[in-house]
């Protein structure tokens, strides 16, 4: 089995490492062009490119794969490179470029995608974030036979993974990445030994879309229920980070939970405005919400470090009566 790999972030790098560990030959890697990053905004290679170079794997970084698009020369060069590999299949994980039909048709076994949800729920760019934000009890990995639609292809393998009440996007990402790597190796091994994979069309019911995360979503709306806000804090950790204001001070909220003794309290039971700090001590900053109270336990000032609440309050007091937002 010879597989071309297409992917960009750490989620994809985990899958590429799994292929290499399983002894699957990867003659070529496709990944996004280097991007400016860090305080110096220097060009930085993607995690997938860095891993490929460590293993002396050829790397192609076209801006587009459309032969009739804005970068036809780059697309044509990528096409020649792909055809020269003689690969049986392409494995795709969070690549970030749309695959035109010629790519989907090129390998004899097609293109297999590692998608971090239980399709058809959470098609699209941010399935991990959206599953936590929505309060889903579980998620998983779907290995999909790619077609021209947005995550609409037939399902080949599917495995569930529970979402813990303490999971952030960061922790769930890591577990899903490991699961995705294991499952795509299993898929290729079954294709390679002739066992094959059953193609199951996705159900037409239960389709949802995981739209890309926008930085503007970071701001916490204190009129929402505490349970909703707690999920948003977890969903937006590590990106973009839930945020609020205390006067002119911008504050990131990295960890929070519903205050147990206030859980389920209706907003009508108090005249305290949403966003008001009710208490602030080493146990947390307790904030009134639209329904219930949210306890903030890890905070960060603009330009500062992420701190446990006790350390944060030493430098930035939030006395009761402070109104956030």
What CATH number has the domain bearing residue 243? 3.10.25.10
Question: What is residue 39's predicted lDDT score, i.e. its pLDDT?
Answer: 76
pLDDT at position 101 over 70: yes
The 10s digit of each residue's pLDDT in 10-28 is 999 999 999 999 999 999 9
Residue numbers of the domain that contains 151: 3-210
Angle CA(6)–CA(199)–CA(137) in degrees, nearest 5? 80
**pLDDT score at 1:** 87
Q: First and final CA of the chain: distance in angstroms?
A: 55
Q: 54-68, 231-245, 256-270, 295-309: lowest mean pLDDT where?
A: 256-270
In the prediction, which pLDDT does 37 show? Answer: 81
Average pLDDT score over the chain: 95
Residue 111 lies in a domain: yes
Mean pLDDT of 98-125: 97
Instruction: Determine the Cα–Cα distance for residues 115 and 134; give it in Å rounded to an integer.
Output: 18
pLDDT over 90 for what percent of the chain?
91
Q: Are residues 105 and 26 in the same domain?
A: yes
**Rounded distance, CA 113 to CA 142, Å?**
8
Interval 259-284: pLDDT, tens = 976 444 444 446 899 999 999 999 99
Q: Supply the pLDDT for residue 263.
A: 47
Measured distance CA(144)–CA(114) in Å, rounded: 7
Mention every residue, 6+ apart, whose C-beta is less than 8 A from residue 177: 10, 11, 14, 15, 116
Hey, how many other C-beta atoms are within 10 angstroms of the C-beta on 18? Answer: 21
Mean pLDDT, residues 234-262 taken together? 93
Query: Which CATH number do you get for residue 89?
Result: 3.40.50.170
Same structural domain, 185 and 302:
no
Q: How far is CA 42 from the centre of its chain?
A: 24
Q: What is the pLDDT of residues 176-230, one digit of tens each?
A: 999 999 999 999 999 998 888 999 999 999 999 999 999 999 999 999 999 999 9
Residue 69 and residue 85 in one domain = yes
State yes or no: pLDDT of 122 exceeds 60: yes
Provide the pLDDT for residue 266.
Answer: 41
Q: Report the candidate in 266, 283, 250, 11 with the shortest Cα–Cα distance to residue 126.
A: 11
Query: Which 3 state secondary structure label does DSSP give 110?
Result: coil
21 and 131 both lie in a single domain: yes
Check residue 207 and report its DSSP letter: -
Does residue 323 sit within a domain?
A: no
Of 179, 210, 241, which one is at a domain's C-terminal end? 210
Give CA angle at 167 (164, 168), nearest 5°.
160
At residue 270, the pLDDT reads 65
- Output DSSP code: residue 214: -
pLDDT band for 41, please (50, 70, 90 cuts): confident
Average pLDDT over every residue of 48-55:
98
SS3 of residue 299 by DSSP:
strand
- Does 194 share its domain with 222? no
- Domain termination residue (choose one: 187, 210, 233): 210
**Cα 103 from Cα 95, distance rounded (Å):** 13
């Amino acid at each position: 089995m010879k597989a071309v790999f297409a992917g960009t972030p750490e989620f994809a790098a985990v899958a590429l490492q799994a292929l290499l560990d399983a002894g699957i030959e990867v003659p070529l890697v496709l990944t996004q062009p280097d991007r400016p990053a860090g305080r110096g905004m220097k060009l930085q290679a993607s995690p997938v490119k860095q891993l490929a170079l460590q293993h002396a794997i050829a790397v192609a970084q076209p801006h587009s794969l459309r032969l009739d698009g804005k970068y036809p020369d780059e697309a044509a060069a990528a096409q020649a490179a792909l055809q020269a590999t003689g690969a049986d299949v392409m494995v795709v994980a969070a690549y970030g470029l749309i695959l035109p039909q010629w790519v989907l048709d090129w390998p004899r076994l097609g293109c297999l995608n590692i998608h971090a949800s239980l399709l058809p729920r959470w098609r699209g760019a941010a399935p991990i974030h959206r599953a936590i934000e929505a309060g889903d009890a579980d998620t998983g990995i779907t290995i999909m036979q790619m077609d021209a639609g947005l995550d609409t292809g037939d399902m080949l393998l599917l495995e569930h993974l529970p979402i813990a009440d303490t999971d952030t996007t960061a922790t769930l990402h890591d577990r899903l990445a490991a699961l995705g790597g294991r499952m795509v190796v299993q898929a290729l091994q079954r294709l390679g030994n002739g066992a094959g994979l059953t193609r199951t069309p996705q159900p037409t019911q239960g389709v949802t879309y995981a739209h890309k995360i926008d930085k503007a979503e970071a701001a916490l709306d204190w009129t929402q229920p505490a349970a909703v806000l707690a999920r948003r804090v977890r969903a937006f950790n590590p990106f973009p980070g839930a945020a609020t204001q205390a006067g002119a001070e911008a504050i990131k909220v990295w960890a929070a939970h519903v205050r147990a003794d206030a859980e389920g309290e209706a907003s009508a039971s108090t005249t305290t405005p949403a966003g008001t700090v009710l208490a602030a001590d080493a146990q947390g900053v307790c904030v009134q919400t639209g329904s219930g109270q949210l306890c903030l336990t890890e905070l960060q000032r603009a330009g500062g470090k992420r701190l446990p609440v006790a350390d944060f309050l030493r430098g930035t007091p939030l006395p009761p009566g402070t109104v956030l937002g």
